[in-house]
Chains A and B, each alone.
Chain A
Amino acid sequence: DTGVSQDPRHKITKRGQNVTFRCDPISEHNRLYWYRQTLGQGPEFLTYFQNEAQLEKSRLLSDRFSAERPKGSFSTLEIQRTEQGDSAMYLCASSSTGAWGFGPGTRLTVT
C-alpha cells in the first residue's frame, strides 16, 4: 500500500495564473475526493469521483475550478485565474469498502 500521493506539495503562483494539482489514489480505491483546508478550519468537501464519473460538486467549487479523473485512476484539479482567496491546502482522499486514505496535500499560495 503506497498510500495517496499528491504533486506538487507546494505551489506559489501569482494572482491570475492557472495551476494544476495531481492526486494518485490508493490503487484499489474506486472513490476519490478533493477537499480544501484553510488555516484554522477543518477540510471542506469540494468534489467526488466514483471511478471516472464526477458524482458530486460542492458549491465551493466555482466555475474557475475543474477536476477530472479520466481513466478512473489519478485525478487532476485545475484552478484558473487564481485569486488570493484560493490560498489553502488542497487535500485528496480515496476510499473503498472498509478503508480511507488521505494524501499529504498541496499547499497553494497565491501572491
Chain B
Amino acid sequence: AQSVTQLDSQVPVFEEAPVELRCNYSSSVSVYLFWYVQYPNQGLQLLLKYLSGSTLVESINGFEAEFNKSQTSFHLRKPSVHISDTAEYFCAVSDRAGGTSYGKLTFGQGTILTVHP
C-alpha cells in the first residue's frame, strides 16, 4: 500500500517570493512521482513527473521538484511565484505497474497555494 502526505494544507505567499510545497510518501515498492495542479473549477493538470534518471525535474512554467529517496520526499519549489500560480496542488505516487505503464495514482490531500499581490 502507498500513502502520500502533503504537510501543508494552505500556503499563502506574496508575489515574486519563493515557495516550497512539501510532499512525503511511503511505499514498499518503487514508485513514479507526480505533481498535479487544479485551478478553480477546472480538472487536474500534470505539472511534472519523476520516472527515472535525474532526481530534479522541471516544469515549463518554472516549478521544479526533487526526488529524495532517502527522505521519501518530492517537494515542489518555485523561486518566484506569480498571481496566476494560485491553485491547489496535489502530490501523487504510482507503483511501477510493469515497464513504464502507470498503475493507479494515490494522491495527497492537496495544498492550496494563494499568491497575494
Q: A: which residues have CB within 8 A of B?
A: 31, 33, 35, 40-45, 48, 56, 91, 93, 95-98, 100, 102-105
Contact = CB atoms under 8 A, between A and B. Distances in A.
A32 to B, nearest CB: 11
B101 interface: yes
Interface string B20-45: 00000000000000101000001111
Contact of A104 (B6, B43, B46): B43
B43 A103 contact: yes
B14 interface: no
Given A102-B43, A103-B43, A104-B42, A43 B104 contact: no
Nearest to B32: A100
B107 A91 contact: no
Size category, B interface = 20 to 34
Given A91-B43, A104-B42, A45 B101 contact: no
Chain A interface main SS type: strand
B41 to A, nearest CB: 9
Interface string B100-117: 111011111110000000
A44 B102 contact: no
Contacts of A31: 101-102
A42 B101 CA distance: 22
